[in-house]
Structure 1
């Protein structure tokens, strides 16, 4: 790991992983020379690892209603949502509450 990398962990649960190649956990090494927020992470995810049905994960520039986001086991709403600046070794968990019939 270079000093210019930001290491974070992504997790997907309750069906959210199906939109990301059925991979439940990913370790990312992002460019550490720029400020990474959840907003920029979501854009990166859309461009790089979202493999299916983006409309089930994103709505505009944010996650769609029905996707819970936890950062280090804390609801992202308490941390500033899209504006939260990612820190080294953050764990970002996406949980789908959307269930088809």
Structure 2
């Protein structure tokens, strides 16, 4: 099977996802979060570094669950540019996640 190259938008989305997960992990170790999510530390490292721009849904679901993040909020955060403002509150999704 041939895998098509990722688009620049997919690469950017993967980088935003990695940055979001790193921020949400805070002071917790990568090993601790990975083991709690039942993924390998290497997988988490690759996702956080943006090397895996399109991780499997169950992997992200497990990691976000361990970090206490809503999948809806994560998707909203990574799917639009950083300067986009959420329609309901006038605050960016990043501000809503950290509030």
Same fold (TM over 0.5): no
Which is richer in strand?
1
**Quick check: which one's helix share is greater?**
2
RCO (CA 8 Å, sep 6+): is it higher in 1 or 2? 1
TM-score (norm 1): 0.33
